[in-house]
Amino acid sequence: MEKGGVAAMNRNDIDGASDANDPVHPGMAGQIKDRSFAVRGNERRRGKEDAAHFREEAATSRAQETAATATIQTASDDHITILQQANERLIITTIEAQKLTEQLQTTRIQLERSKSAAEKANLAKSEFLSSMSHELRSPLNAILGFAQLMEADASAPPTPPQKESIRQILKAGWYLLDLINEILDLALIESGKLSLSHESISLVDVMLDCQAMTEPQAQKHGIHITFPRLERAYLVYVDRTRVKQILLNLLSNAIKYNRGGGTVAVGCTVTAQERIRISVTDTGLGLTPDKLGHLFQSFNRLGQENSAEEGTGIGLVVSKRLIELMGGAIGVESTVGTGSVFWIELNLIAEAQNTVDTAALAAHVPAPVENDMRLRTLLYIEDNPANLKLVEQLIARRADLRLLSAGNAKSGITLARTHQPEIILMDINLPGISGIEALKILRADPLIKHIPVIALSAHAMPHDIKKGMESGFFRYITKPIKVNEFMETLDEALKLSATAENTSK
């Protein structure tokens, strides 16, 4: 009953809502209208609120978009600025790189020009030295050659005063030759044109040679010199001639600048680094630290310029350059009032690495030639009258030789073909055809190609000697003539000539 009543009322409400003008329910219709106005009011308020909220969100979104746009614009402006700056730096760098490239190109051109100029200067220097060597050696050849003849003249021996004069001439001449050689050596080293002939050698042999050459000098100065007795060969890979040159220089200095009655002791020690040290200890006055600092300077004799001892002041400089070119070192220790110790060090090689054929070496040692007194002919081709006169007098001392001479290569070749001499001695610098060109002609002739030809020349630069030997000369003797060396070379050539003659029979 109660539920039915409520349902009836709800239906009435609905009916009333469906028809507000229903005269049957006037009160209910008013309520429904009021409710309808309230609903519509709420809806309008909610709509306004929603619109306001939407406008607020839209405004916020626009503000955010504006801020984002401003941020993007700022970043874009910054990037543009950075790119502009980078582009400017790139342009500047490119310009600088172009300038640097141009500078490098200019520098390269200048270096090439400098290198070319240096090469031309070195070539001119070498040519000048070679020419000067020839011009200086030619008159020295006559001076020393005739002085040696006068000294050894048994038929008319010189008087004591004459002997002393000859001795002084020889002393000055050989000293001048040493000076020429040292200057040429230094010039070649500085120009980088010095060639070394490395080989495996025994220091024992070198020490024996040095001992034989320096003992007479030591005795003359009243100096007692001692050499070690080496039980091993002590093999080193060096230029034999240059090592001996260095040791002789150190020994000569130790003798010359020693005290009267002093001593020179040569020592030999193997270091831990498989190097061998050869030391030369003297009892001289010693050197101050200041002098030690100037020891290896060219032409600096450390106050000995006015002493009685001769010297050039470049021997130690040349020695230092040579030993360093061979992988060695040189040094000195000195105490004022006590003396000095000069030393050199070289790299040792194992004895098993010794590739020197002793039989081959023995074959190159000149053996005594039996003199059968059969007259042999020597043809000398030389345009210098003084040199020709000297050789004439030297050959006059040989009972087994007769001399033919020619003043130029053309005449010499004709004489060689006509007389077929046992030996030909020939200058290199000849008028018309040079000695080397003449040798080619001689070697091309079957009748005389077997004759040993010895070069006798004032061209004494290493490259001159090498060129001469490569051309086919039997030996290359440099002026000034050393009489003993000259005679030994003639004996070797005669032996070779006799062998060739016997073979052809």
Residue percentage of the chain with pLDDT more than 90: 21
More confident residue, 124 or 60: 60
**Cα distances (angstroms) measured from residue 24 to each of 21, 27, 210, 248, 271:** 8, 9, 161, 158, 143
Rounded Cα gap, residues 270 and 348, in angstroms? 9
The angle that helices 203-221 and 240-256 make with each other, rounded to 10 degrees, is 30
The residues with which 236 forms a beta bridge, in sequence order, are 201, 348
Tell me the per-residue pLDDT of 175-186, one tens digit each, with 9 for 90 and over: 788 777 777 777
- Tell me the pLDDT band of 452, cut-offs 50, 70 and 90: very high
Q: Is the pLDDT of residue 273 over 90?
A: no
Element (H, E) at 286: none
Q: Give every strand in the sheet of 275-282, ordered side by side.
A: 224-226, 263-270, 275-282, 339-347, 329-335
Mean pLDDT of 305-316: 60
pTM for the model stands at 0.49
The angle that helices 385-395 and 483-504 make with each other, rounded to 10 degrees, is 70
Least confident of 73-82, 140-149, 336-345, 398-407: 73-82
Rounded Cα gap, residues 288 and 285, in angstroms? 10
More confident residue, 8 or 114: 114
Q: What is the C-alpha radius of gyration for the chain, rounded to an integer number of angstroms?
A: 53
Nearest to 259 by CA among 283, 286, 287, 288: 283
CATH T-level fold of 198-361 = Heat Shock Protein 90 (3.30.565)
Give me the DSSP letters along 13-49. Answer: HHHHHH-TT-TT-HHHHHHHHHHHHHHHHHHHHHHHH
Tell me the per-residue pLDDT of 190-237, one tens digit each, with 9 for 90 and over: 777 677 778 888 888 888 888 888 888 899 889 999 999 887 778 899
More confident residue, 291 or 444: 444
What pLDDT does residue 157 have? 83
Q: Is 366-504 the same fold as 198-361?
A: no
Q: Is the pLDDT of residue 353 over 90?
A: no
**Count of H-run helices and E-run strands, the chain:** 13, 12
Burial of 455: CB neighbours in 10 Å, binned 0-12, 13-18, 19+: buried
- Tell me the pLDDT band of 439, cut-offs 50, 70 and 90: very high
Tell me the per-residue pLDDT of 371-390, one tens digit each, with 9 for 90 and over: 445 789 999 999 888 888 88
Q: Give every strand in the sheet of 401-406, ordered side by side.
A: 401-406, 376-381, 423-426, 453-457, 475-478
Residue 452 near residue 175, CB atoms below 8 Å? no
What is the CA angle 352-356-361, rounded to 5? 150
- Tell me the pLDDT band of 304, cut-offs 50, 70 and 90: low
Residue 258 near residue 283, CB atoms below 8 Å? yes
Least confident of 226-235, 257-266, 494-503: 494-503
**Cα distances (angstroms) measured from residue 330 to each of 255, 257, 303, 341, 346:** 19, 19, 22, 11, 9
Name residue 195's amino acid: S
Residue 25 near residue 11, CB atoms below 8 Å? no
Phi-psi region of 2 (alpha: psi -120 to 50; beta: other; left: phi over 0): alpha
Rounded Cα gap, residues 415 and 377, in angstroms? 11
User: Which tokens sit at 145?
Assistant: 């050659």
Residue 457 near residue 471, CB atoms below 8 Å? no
Rounded Cα gap, residues 96 and 69, in angstroms? 40
Domain boundaries in the chain?
198-361, 366-504
Phi-psi region of 303 (alpha: psi -120 to 50; beta: other; left: phi over 0): left
The angle that helices 462-471 and 435-444 make with each other, rounded to 10 degrees, is 10
The class of domain 366-504 in CATH terms is: alpha beta
